[in-house]
Chain A
Amino acid sequence: MARVFCPSEDRSWRHVPVYRGRPLSYVLWNPEARINKVLGDAVRTLSGRRPLDAIDNALYLCLLSHISNATCCNRCEAMQFSIVSYRGYDPEYRPKVLFASLVHRV
């Protein structure tokens, strides 16, 4: 999830989609595999850590760069992201916040 501090937008948290639906052809050809692994590693590395302890981690910076590119516009002043666990195929599971970043100036 991410929120941007922009004069033209509200500051509510927005879902940043990271996984696309997987067709069965992914058995042979799965270009998302490496991206999924990077994101999975980032979640494992950052979960439960305080943002100040994680800020020197390259995966933190990669996520920050990737999410700011995906969500920020030219007028944005700052942004923040969080990692929230959810199970897309289990409607009874309550989402949990695993990590929240610092607010970064863009």
Chain B
Amino acid sequence: MIERLGDAHTALRACLFVASLGHFVYAGQILANPSLALDTGLLPWNITRCRYRLSPVRLLRLLARVDMPPRLLPVMLCTVLVGSVWLMAAAVFNANLIMPLTLLLLSCAYVRITLPYGANAADAMLACIVVAALFAESVPSPISEKAVLVFICAQVILAYSTAGLMKCSNWKWYNGSFVRELFSTESFGLSVVTRGFRRFPPLAPLAGTSIVVGETLFWTVLLVPLPFLLVALGVAFMFHWLVAAVMGLNTFVWSFLATYPAIIFCATAIHGSA
């Protein structure tokens, strides 16, 4: 598997296959709340456009003048679903990716503008992958695919490292109090986890410290021998599944898994040239 992902073309298509799964879940979950942007919903367009009206950026202020009918949002979300299935098929059957990527990019941009609140780092990562892949497909050269894979790899290492560095100066992560506090809320916790932390007190400091160390030192996966790289990525994947189960942040699973072929490609290149 590692040998196959050492090829830039295969690695990029693997990235896009998983990213399309992420887009499917992203759009489907918003579609499950069809009234979100309506006047009775949590993010009515007539109010959220105030964000653009008050923006210091002129281009964003122009968006406030555009009439985005919120009833069009479910249609655009269906377009994202279609685009993600199309992208998945194109990635598997080695077809041209420009059309599905463009469709996905435009429909996601509409969703992002209509719902300016509630996006997270997973959505940003998916958008990064799609924009970068569209660049690679639009500029057909042997270097463009490699450059895009390096970009995606740098992006994910930056994402993990900044998250780790933000946490590492806060002692509440090391003594476990932040983990205990976070998981005792209904929004980001589960009662079974809170009970587990009470029954086994060293579990919370261990979890907090592991998260900080794992995120801060994630970049070292590029340096370890290739079999260990797969183990390290497996641990990171399991971490995202745990976060999905406990905190409900399930789109992170797909958006970060989508970057792992790029990491494997870069690690293979580093070990190949060494």
- Tell me, in angstroms, the Cα distance from A90 to B180 when the chains sit together: 9
Give chain B interface residues in 26-61, CB to chain A under 8 Å.
28-30, 32-33, 36, 39-44, 47-48, 50-51, 54
- Tell me, in angstroms, the Cα distance from A36 to B186 when the chains sit together: 10
A71 is an interface residue with CB less than 8 A from chain B: no
- CB-based contact A61/B36 at 8 Å: no
Interface-side segment among B12-20, B225-233, B247-255: B247-255
B187 contacts across to A, CB distance below 8 A: 18-19, 36, 39-40
- Tell me, in angstroms, the Cα distance from A33 to B30 when the chains sit together: 9
- CB-based contact A30/B47 at 8 Å: no
Q: A62-B117, A66-B42 are in contact. Are A30 and B29 (CB under 8 A)?
A: yes
Bitwise interface map of A from 8 to 43 toward B, beta carbon under 8 Å scored 1, else 0? 000000000011001010111111111111111110
A38 contacts across to B, CB distance below 8 A: 42-43, 117-118
- Tell me, in angstroms, the Cα distance from A101 to B43 when the chains sit together: 18
The tally of residues in B whose CB lies under 8 Å from a CB in A reads 42
A42 contacts across to B, CB distance below 8 A: 117
B189 is an interface residue with CB less than 8 A from chain A: yes
- CB-based contact A88/B184 at 8 Å: yes
Q: Which residue of chain A has its CB nearest to the CB of B40?
A: A69
Bitwise interface map of A from 38 to 65 toward B, beta carbon under 8 Å scored 1, else 0? 1111100000000000001011011001
A26 contacts across to B, CB distance below 8 A: 244-245, 248, 250
- CB-based contact B248/A35 at 8 Å: no
Q: Which residues of A contact B (CB under 8 A)?
A: 18-19, 22, 24, 26-42, 56, 58-59, 61-62, 65-66, 69, 87-90, 93
Nearest 7 CB-CB pairings of A with B? A31-B32, A88-B186, A90-B184, A38-B118, A89-B194, A87-B184, A34-B118
Known contacts A35-B118, A62-B47, A90-B184; can you find 12 more A-B pairs with CB under 8 A? A27-B241, A29-B250, A31-B29, A31-B32, A33-B29, A34-B118, A35-B36, A39-B42, A58-B51, A87-B186, A88-B189, A89-B185
